[in-house]
Amino acid sequence: MIRVAARPAATALSAHAECHTAHIETPEERTRRIWRSADAVAFDVDSTVCQDEAIDELANYLGVGEAVANVTRQAMNGNARFRHALQARLEVMRPTYDQLEAYANETKPKVTFVPLEGTSIR
């Protein structure tokens, strides 16, 4: 199950601790360790890694897809700045924590790449 949570805090070893460690972790190893222990890792991947736009998909899930699409069209026509358009779309949706969590657990992403061997996408 995916839980919507705060961003995890990064940790670092002190220089003294690194000197007394048998194996110094490479940046790649550290990244893999952190990602494997995380409940979720999120990136801004709309229309790049994922085929769809998350805000549009969430709006459809909440039953306000057309209203959000209207705000998006106005912004694309230059009638609103990005920040104001995003705020307007979120005000139309007004997603609750429970709705976000349900959406994350019930909706499978449409990815455009093939996962590396030994990895999975949930």
Q: Which CATH code is given to the segment(s) 24-106?
A: 1.10.150.210
Using a cut of 0.85, tell me whether the model's pTM lies above it: no
98 catalytic? Reply is no
**Is the predicted pLDDT of residue 14 greater than 50, yes or no?**
no
37's tokens: 């222990």
Q: Tell me, what's the pLDDT at 39?
A: 85
Residues sharing a CB contact under 8 Å with residue 107, sequence separation 6 or more, in sequence order: 57, 61
**Domain chopping of the chain, boundaries:** 24-106
Q: Which of 44, 52, 56, 98 is catalytic?
A: 44
Active-site option among 46, 52, 56, 98: 46
With vertex at residue 32, the alpha carbon angle to CA 30 and CA 38, rounded to the nearest 5 degrees, is 100
pLDDT, position 5: 55
Instruction: Identify the CA nearest to 100 among candidates 66, 65, 62.
Output: 62
Query: At residue 12, does pLDDT exceed 50?
Result: no
User: Of the candidates 108, 109, 119, which has an alpha carbon nearest to the alpha carbon of residue 32?
Assistant: 119
62's tokens: 């909440």
Tell me the pLDDT tens digit for each residue of 109-119: 777 665 556 66
Q: What whole-number distance in Å separates Cα of residue 105 and Cα of residue 100?
A: 9
**Could you say which DSSP state residue 102 is in?**
H
pLDDT digits 0-9 by tens, 60-109: 999 999 999 999 888 888 888 888 988 999 999 999 999 999 998 998 87
Concerning whether 52 is annotated as a catalytic residue, the answer is: no
Q: What is the pLDDT of residue 44?
A: 63
